[in-house]
Amino acid sequence: MVDKGFTILVGDANGADKAVQSYLADKGYSNVVVHCMANHCRNNLGSWPIRELTAAAGARGFDYYTVKDRAMADAAEYGLMLWDGKSKGTINNVLNLCRAHKPAVVYVATAKSFTTVRVLDDLQAVLAQGDSASVRRLVTDLRLDSLRVAG
């Protein structure tokens, strides 16, 4: 594959990040930077350059991994997210981009549809396609109570 002059920023998580890395490696794409936490890069299937991030002392789980997600949103011009209808991390990444006035295209796997999120209100259409119990939880966890979300 011939690189198109732009760089793809990808995480190191198992699941969607790893699947995207596999696709890019299979196609021979070289303009990739893998974002991971310091001293612990879980996946780098193309042996691409990495950007290691450090979390605050004591950070765990969601708070730990959102450090690299925020760094990717800061560095990106736009995002492509793959959402399973449940993941709080994916929606948090969309919020990071939205708050930085950067568009995010979200593929909702359960609905097999794409939605572009440019402003916070656009997120309603994405959340409406998610698992209702998971959406209620992430609306509370991410303090999205101002959104009118069905379910």
Q: Tokens 């979300």 map to which residue? A: 149
Q: How many CB atoms lie within 10 A of CB 128?
A: 16
Which pLDDT tens digit goes with each residue over 5-45? 789 999 999 999 999 999 999 999 999 999 999 988 999 99
Instruction: Give the whole-number percent of the chain exceeding pLDDT 90.
Output: 78
How far is residue 30's CA from residue 33's CA, in Å, rounded to a whole number? Answer: 9
Residue 112: HSE in the Cβ half-sphere, 13 Å Cα cutoff: 0
Q: Is the pLDDT of residue 149 over 80?
A: no
> Angle at CA 66, nearest 5°, toward 62 and 67?
130
pLDDT value, residue 65: 86
Q: What is the DSSP string of 97-129?
A: HHHTT--EEEEETTTTEEEEESSGGGHHHHHTT
Residue 60 identity: R
Query: pTM here?
Result: 0.87
Whether 151 has a pLDDT exceeding 60, the answer reads no
Task: Check pLDDT > 80 for residue 142.
Answer: yes
Q: Are 126 and 115 in contact (CB under 8 A)?
A: yes
**pLDDT value of position 135:** 93
Phi and psi of 98, rounded to 5°? -60, -45
Tokens of 13: 């998580």
pLDDT digits (tens, 9 = 90+) for 103-129: 999 999 999 999 999 998 999 999 999
Per-domain boundaries in the chain: 1-75, 82-151
Q: Is the pLDDT of residue 51 over 90?
A: yes
By three-state DSSP, how is residue 73 classified? helix
